[in-house]
Amino acid sequence: MSSLGASFRLARAGWVLVREGVVAALPGDQLTGLPKFGWSVAKLFTRRRARKSVRSDRLANAVARLGPSYVKLGQFLATRPDVVGDDIALDLALLQDSMATFPMSEAVEAIEGSLGRKVSDLYISIDAPIAAASIAQVHPAEVDTPDGPRKVAVKVIRPGVRRRFFQDLESYFLAARLQERFVPSSRRLRPVEITETMAQTTKIEMDFRLEAAAYSELGENTRDDPGFRVPSVDWERTGRDVLTMEWIDGVKLNDIDGLRAAGHDLKAIAATLVQSFLRHTLRDGFFHADMHPGNMFVDAKGDIVAVDLGISGRLGKKEQRFLAEILYGFITRNYMRVAEVHFEAGYVPRHHNVAAFAQAIRAIGEPIHGQPAETISMAKLLTLLFEVTELFDMQTRPELVLLQKTMVVVEGVARTLDPAFNMWKTAEPVVGHWISGNLGPQGLLIDARDGLGALMSLVRQAPDFAARTERLSRQIDAMAENGLRFDAETAKAIGKAEARYNRSGRVALWVIAATLVYVAWKLF
């Protein structure tokens, strides 16, 4: 029944996308066979008013009809231009996560249920919501402190959003499995794994304790950084369904006139924004992954204050080095070193030729030299780089795609603040400092210390490794003598899983076919 429900929801979503003209707006001229026929039929079923609108408006209308979970799907896919393409990713990025507010009584119920205390015991006062999104809404409130009343922002989960999301998630997984099965060319993009990543990301985003922890971590990392901070968290009034944090009075970064009226230096803010983002990625390996201008304020002191940390990104030490050496390699025109970094990191399979890969990278780097620095986009450079790596079988790296997407947004905001913004000159102090500290003598000492620590850990685990090796050796001998055997329960579970997989695919196809027949009958 779960698969049947997912099939009906998937068919409904497809019908909405067809009627709102989203499918017809896709580039289908190059298609052939059945896909081309489906695209042509979708154009016939498009609403008349939808045919006159641009693709971004069609997407917005479709998402509005499908509900909050599809807003999150669109926002997630906007971070994956490698999956949906750059043009569609830009359209999806324009989706406004703005929904109708829900009643105050439901917000109070969510707060009291999550924190186990009466709202009157937690807050001096709590007012009507001032903003609502697909997952939560925000209320201004006041709390009592030893220094007197203090204004706070209270973020409250939307009632029923988890149940709705998990229902729609079944449809997303069904669509991903069908795509992998019937569109072999899409398997390289790993649609099922992408859906799993989205599911995990949204689960984290719907637990406000984890968002509070992200605020705390980023706050500790940036405690001594100039010009950037995040709100402090009120942990006493924070739970799974409610997040209470410092109230921010400031001007949003997308309010250019307001920033000028407040007397802020727009060029200085642009430089601080980019340098802060690079510090977070290179130094800390932890960054705010949704840094659009609506999520950033400038306070009275001129500091950038970032909010809405539901989506964050992490880079391991290998990825931090990857990013720094790529940027430094392009600055110094050392294309061979940039290519070697890709191979050392394991991003490009070893069967490819390093020199040929360096040649492809040179084709990206050479055109930017000789141009005015303010016209060279670091984000565009990374986009071109990832396009080239696809030619050399580089697998999709979600953490790098998220980094690329965030850098595109940050650089775009900086150029809005300062049209003559010089990305390279601004980035050089941060990148150069990281290079000298991590790839010079000091970096070698740090690597040696980490290597020694790993070696000591390996020595401590040696007895356990020896025991496990002995057990594995006995099991291999037994398999060689008796063959590989499954117990009855394992064989039964494999059979059930295979039957369920085949059945869900057949049910989905029949439901979609029945829906199309019904629609054609109603229309004609």
DSSP state of 233: B
In DSSP notation, 29-90 reads TT--HHHHHHHHHHHHHS-TTGGGS-HHHHHHHHHHHH-HHHHHHHHHHHT-HHHH-HHHHH
Coil, strand or helix at 144: strand
CB within 8 Å of 159: residues ≥ 6 apart: 102, 106, 109, 110
Locate 413 and state its tokens: 């905001």
- Token look-up 């971590």 returns 217
In DSSP notation, 270-331 reads HHHHHHHHHIIIIIISEEES---GGGEEE-TTS-EEE---SSEEE--HHHHHHHHHHHHHHH
DSSP state of 235: G
Distance, in Å, from the CA atom of 260 to the CA atom of 73, rounded to the nearest integer, reads 36
> What is the DSSP pairing of strand 296-298 with strand 148-157?
unpaired
- Pick the catalytic residue: 290, 299, 418, 447? 290
290 is an active site residue:
yes
Q: Give CA separation, 199 vs 66, 115, 169, 181, in Å.
A: 18, 25, 7, 21
Residues 408 and 383: beta-carbon distance below 8 Å? yes
Distance, in Å, from the CA atom of 244 to the CA atom of 234, rounded to the nearest integer, reads 5
- Token look-up 């709590």 returns 126
Total residue length of the chain = 524
DSSP state of 131: E
Locate 334 and state its tokens: 């050392």
Catalytic residues: 290
